[in-house]
Amino acid sequence: MLHVALANIKTYARRYIAVILAVAIGTAFLAATLAVNTSTRATLKNSLGDSYKNADLVAFPDWSMASSEGEESKDLSMSNLDDVRKLNGVSTAYAIAYSAGEVHTADNGYTVLTSPVSAEQNLGGMELVEGRAPLRANEVLIDDSHAKDMNVSVGDTISLNSQDTAAKNYTVVGLQRSSTDPQISGYALLGMQEGAWTKFAGKDFVPSSIVVNASGNIDAVQNELKTYFTDQKLKNISVLTADEKVIKDVAALTDGSDQLTMVLLVFALIALVVTGLVVVNTFNVVIAQRTRELALLRTLGAKRKQIRSSVLIEALLIGILASVAGVALAVGLMAGLIKLLHIYVPSMSYATLALSPIGLVIPVIVGILMTVIAASLPARRAMKLAPLAALRPFDSASVKNRAGKLRIIFGLLLTLGGAALLGYGAYKGELPIAFVGGLFSFPGILMLASLFVPSSVYGIGKLVAGRSVAGKLAALNAVRNPGRTTATATALLIGVTLVSMIMVGGQTAKATLNNSIAGEYPVDVTVSLFDQKADPAKTEKLAKEISNIQGVEQSTTFRSATAVIDDPGSSEDAGLQLMAVDPQGFEKVALDPSIVPADGEVVMVSGYLKPGTKTMTLGGETLKVKESKASLYTDIVTFDTLKTLKTVDANSGFMGVLVKVDPKLDSAAIGKLVDQIVETAGVERYMVDGGVVQNAMFSQIIDVLLTIVSALLAVAVLIALIGVANTLSLSVLERTRENSLLRALGLKKKQLRAMLAQEAVLIGGVAALLGLVLGVAYGLLGAQATLSGMGDMSYDIPWLQLAIVLVVSIVAALIASITPGRRASKLSPVEGLAAE
Amino acid sequence: MTSETLPLTDYAVSARGLTKSYGHDSTRVQALRSVDVAFARSRFTAIMGPSGSGKSTLMHCLAGLDTADAGQIMIGGKDLMSMNDDELTMMRREQIGFVFQSFNLVPTINAKDNILLPLSLAGKRHDRDWFNTVIEALGLRDRLNHKPHELSGGQQQRVAVARALLTRPEVVFGDEPTGNLDSRTGAEVLSLMRTSTREMGQTIIMVTHDPAAASYADTVLLMKDGQLVGSIEEPTVASVTEALASLAE
């Protein structure tokens, strides 16, 4: 049977292009996911290993080696280093130790990590780029990238101090290569002569490890070290080879990247399921077309099993071809990306493409298995063909698909059970329950797809067609083979459902967060000048400048102060933090009018007051209490009231500006606005806060997540659209006779193309529409389950984005119909009728 | 035919009490009404009758392509009615050859592979001498590497005949084998089939409605309304035409 299968693939290669493409993309996704994982590890190994690059052995405290019987564990010390250097077979040894310090240049101050460097001891693992090693106590090395930032070069003098040591001048005698170890990269590194460093950091400074180069047998030196540390009662010190240590460090750091891999794997799985549907469809059509041929083989003595295996052999060959191509595509893509990274981000030069044999073999195996398993359903159908089918002169190609009763019952159970769980989870705000509900109900709905997809396609088709013949035929053709239409539409429906679910969920999450955050802050934006003493004139000027920024509606100043509560019942004096404002100005920026104080009043949050509290004595004055339901961080009084109070920090309180922004601004505009405020006020970013700022931040995070997830799901949608084109072009082949008959009877080429286009749009559009409906439902319920614990839900459906999804699906379906349409219309009426 | 005088097993193909109907209740069609028939070895028999007479159904049942409702079918001494699908498949593979009206060659493989298909399905090697004998007899030597679409209708049908003969089956069934051929190439194929009966001892049973085709047979069986109604030995075009005309009354 192998030669028949091979001959079939060779002859009908074109029919398999789309399915090979689909399988290749699905497999490539999986392979890329695994390659991301291995490459992350290799990159980390490359960068983490930077510290031990030329080392043989590393001694370090291993906290998993718990000291037995409550023995006190001892730390490494610099004196251990001296001992280690005297051991047999140790050629060089140095400590890896980073002690923080501050460097001051002529212009600025920097936080640095200092480390011991000894010219005789392998330079402490450092690599000189320029100059020489520090030999005297007042000489240092600086890492090359930070030297540039600090504007320091060899020969310059810098001042270095730490919390415990006074500033001292040092001469820069060389530049060391900056480290790619992610644990220390980002800090400026300063290499000091070892003795000087020990004085600077203190004799008791605990090094993180001792690194040894052996002159003799490494195993012997390793044993020597182990014995030494045991003798020293340093039981929790582990001695590993440098390679072993790096592997250990990578394992500790890659937990996060494994989670990323898991998430990516889920998306790869979705893409593969969609690919499987495309495969099922392709083989169904191919087998329908070959009914006569397969029946002939049965007549000539092919057993049922032989028919099935001939179909499966074809699937196997296609699976092998497509999976290998897919993995090659993924490897090429990853290599290209890393190359780009090397070119455009020089600091990531240690990024490495790593491919594990397993990571390459698994996607190929999964791709092949998926293709063969997906083809086994159509193959079973082929097996059931009666030999007699070969003798019927012209077999009509219409295949009846009866949805299996079992599948319907199972699908119904899954849908109902899942929906109940989903509803309950959403109602109670229990995400895990809702998640399981979604996990059950969606496959359940897909199992039931054959019940509602063909009828929706037909119904909408009839509605849209009106009186055009081509339209009516398209509607009929689209449901001519309900099983095939269902599978094609389902592939697209999965992608669209997930995309729209994410969009609706994300939008609702944004709206809900906006709402709940807005309630937490009394004003849109607060600029707190923590670092300056209160200066009313200057702050007033700043408020004016800020109000000139585009997008700012109002601004006013405030002053922070602390007054003591005179509570006769309490022995201790409790300080109350207050914000003093100008009531006229504050009224214009306050988000809730109930928080605006009058003179002689203090606005307090009702939740924190004893019920029935009418007045409160603060800083020697009795003030009327105004309760507010809004959540406030501080209690509010007017400037005039504040003047009458005795405050704790009369001389040290700070001032600031309260800002109201245009409510129509979106998160990107707010981000920009905050940048402008930061610049205008000349403050650090953390001093600018408020509901709007928080919202903008959350919105941006959600938007980034949405974009990434949508892009990942787009792969599944792309494969599904290839499926639409595939189904259509196979249908055209199948209907050659019929289409030429229509042409012979007077259907214009244009009408024929329009008919196919309408068929594609119908399947694509209805699938997208159903997907959107499902996606909106899942998105809202999912958001409810996730967020209802955070307070009131604000449901928000991104109509525009959903409309774009629908339009993209329809346009893509239209594009998918171009090639099949062209092929169908090329056929001359006579040719088609002659072809058998 | 003298089915009473010989036990059924002495014939290449025989059937007793063969009954078959299609449809249910009001749409019920009785295609075969208790047909008794036997085909002697090394004979070329044609089955004729007006459309709807049951001749095709009879052939499909005899070839194990369709199952009869009741009766007994023996081929080479084995009862088809008691066989399961795999056994029937093995039967078709080893004991039965087919020649169809529409040639029914696998379009993707060449003539030689088509001829060898039943053997390769069985995973068997072919007998080189026999292969050469068949190929020479059918004049296909130069056409073995051609794909079906590169062959004329007559050549395609000769490939189909070669495929049927190669396994040396107990019987070859022909279903209107010349229906798609012009009269000259049709005559060529029919002579080849007759030669295979005479020289290779091949039993052939052919369904046709063409008196000219039937005239190549040794015996013509006539059917009407699901029953055998007569037979003609050593038929001529004239005798067959006359017999058919009398059936149509």
**Position B104 in a domain:** yes
**Position B2 in a domain:** no
Whether A593 contacts chain B with CB within 8 A: no
Residue A834 has pLDDT above 70, yes or no: no
Cβ distance A506 to A658 under 8 Å? no
CB contacts of B169 in chain A (<8 Å) are: none
**Position B1 in a domain:** no
| Separation of alpha carbons A441 and A431, rounded Å | 15
CA distance B142 to chain A (A): 21
In this complex, do B100 and A391 lie within 8 Å of one another by their Cβ atoms?
Answer: yes
> Structural domain tally of chain B?
1
Cβ distance A589 to A659 under 8 Å? yes
Nearest CA in chain A to B108: A7
Whether A297 contacts chain B with CB within 8 A: yes
In this complex, do B108 and A4 lie within 8 Å of one another by their Cβ atoms?
Answer: yes
Q: Is A122 left (phi over 0), alpha (psi -120 to 50) or beta?
A: left
pLDDT in tens, A616-653: 888 888 888 888 776 667 888 898 888 888 877 666 67
Quick one: pLDDT at residue A399?
44
Of the candidates A771, A816, A810, which has an alpha carbon nearest to the alpha carbon of residue A453? Answer: A771
Kindly report the backbone phi and psi dihedral angles of residue B33, in degrees, each rounded to the nearest multiple of 5, phi listed first: -115, 95
Residue A832 has pLDDT above 70, yes or no: no
CB contacts of B93 in chain A (<8 Å) are: 300-302
- Band (pLDDT 50/70/90 cuts) for residue A400 is very low
Strand ranges (DSSP E) for A693-757?
Answer: none
In this complex, do A292 and B163 lie within 8 Å of one another by their Cβ atoms?
Answer: no
Burial of A83 from C-beta contacts in 10 A (0-12 / 13-18 / 19+): middle
Which of B117, B167, B175 to mutate against chain A (most A CBs within 10 Å)? Answer: B117
B220: amino acid identity, one letter: V
Element (H, E) at B171: strand B171-175
CB contacts of A8 in chain B (<8 Å) are: 108
pLDDT in tens, A340-359: 888 887 666 777 788 888 88
> What CATH code is carried by the domain that includes residue B104?
3.40.50.300
Range of the domain at B56: 8-247
Nearest CA in chain A to B115: A300
**Position B35 in a domain:** yes
**Position B168 in a domain:** yes
Of the candidates B138, B139, B157, which has an alpha carbon nearest to the alpha carbon of residue B148? Answer: B157
Quick one: pLDDT at residue A72?
58
Which of A391, A394, A836 to mutate against chain B (most B CBs within 10 Å)? Answer: A391
Which of B121, B146, B172 to mutate against chain A (most A CBs within 10 Å)? Answer: B121
Quick one: pLDDT at residue B1?
44
Q: Write the ipTM.
A: 0.72
| Separation of alpha carbons A392 and A831, rounded Å | 22
**Position B124 in a domain:** yes
Residue B15 has pLDDT above 90, yes or no: yes
Quick one: pLDDT at residue A69?
52
Quick one: pLDDT at residue A568?
60
Range of A506-515, A588-597, B216-225 with top mean pLDDT: B216-225
Nearest CA in chain A to B114: A4
Whether A4 contacts chain B with CB within 8 A: yes
Quick one: pLDDT at residue A1?
64
**Position B185 in a domain:** yes
CB contacts of B121 in chain A (<8 Å) are: 1, 297, 300-303, 306
Domain spans in chain A, listed from the N-terminal domain onward: 1-53+244-395, 57-243, 451-521+690-836, 525-683
Nearby residues of A186 by Cβ (< 8 Å), 6 or more positions away: none
Nearest CA in chain B to A10: B108
| Separation of alpha carbons A87 and B46, rounded Å | 106
- A to B CB pairs, distance under 8 Å: 72
Residue A195 has pLDDT above 90, yes or no: no
Residue A122 has pLDDT above 80, yes or no: no
**CB < 8 Å from B in window 366-405 of A:** 386-388, 390-391, 393
Q: Which of A302, A304, A387 lies at the smallest CB-CB distance from B65?
A: A387
Tokens of A109: 């101050």
B23: amino acid identity, one letter: G
**Position B130 in a domain:** yes
Cβ distance A557 to A653 under 8 Å? no
Nearest CA in chain B to A393: B102
CB contacts of B175 in chain A (<8 Å) are: 391
CA distance A389 to chain B (A): 9
**Nearest-10 Cα torsion for A8, A13, A18, A21:** 100
Residue A352 exposure: Cα atoms within 13 Å on the Cβ side: 16
